Amino acid sequence: MSLQLFTQSPLFGFTLTIAVMLFYQYLFTRVRHSLLNPMLFSMVTIIAFLMLTGIPFSDYYRGASILSFFLGPAIVSLAVPLYKQFDKLKQNALPVLAGITVGVAVSIASGILLSQLFALSREVVVSMAPKGATSAISMNLSSMQGGDPAMTVTFVNIAGIFGYMFAEKAYALLKIRDPIARGIGLGTAAHALGTKKALEMGEEEGAMSSLAIGLAGVLTTVLLPLLLNLFGI
């Protein structure tokens, strides 16, 4: 009975999430391999734990949802490296804006085309299309267009995880060494996780990535309905 009371308390979901995430973060600092993504392994572990124990997701989320409060301050704090690199931003304003715009357009168009290629429903199309924006923005855009916000969050997380895991390998393969280009690419394609990877690469990459997160959200809001209409969705 006491165990059931604990799992139904907000402390359960909060504690479980923090403990699992810290465990995999510790492993990552020891192994230092991009494939050992703490967020991915934490998600899989928590899902498996809830399924094996039969604990309802609602009980878990009651406490885990508290952590979403910290997302806003974390995003705002990304303005610090951006401020430090503001002079470089002014010098490269046009290519930065062009790169983010093209990245957002390709992200939306690829989601639409892939969904159409596999004859997926309209709900899946509009749920996948806004994956180029952060969860908070993409969920609202998906809902407004008739999509499923929960499905959209899944696509956004997949984009972030894959960006974090394979960005360095892709940059090495394509010989992309410019820190501005690397940061813009990560922020536009992989959002918060991409920015985490960009900050690991360097302060300049992190600053450009944090800028890309904000602009990608704004541009997705503008371009999503236009491209959906263009493709007849």
Q: Does 49 lie in the same domain as 9?
A: yes
- Give the range of the structural domain holding residue 66, as residue numbers without chain letter: 2-76
Its pTM stands at 0.75
Q: Write down the pLDDT at residue 7.
A: 67
Q: Encoding tokens for residue 219?
A: 């541009």
Sign of CA dihedral 10, 72, 32, 168: positive
Residues 112-151: tens digit of each pLDDT? 888 888 888 888 888 888 888 877 788 888 888 888 888 8
Chosen domain end from 30, 56, 76: 76
Q: Residue 125: what residue type?
A: V
- CA distance linking residue 138 with residue 107, whole number of Å: 12
Last residue of a domain, one of 76, 101, 124: 76
pLDDT at 27 over 80: yes
Same domain, 70 and 89: no
Kindly report the average pLDDT of the chain as a whole number.
82
Count of Cβ atoms closer than 10 Å to residue 111 Cβ: 23
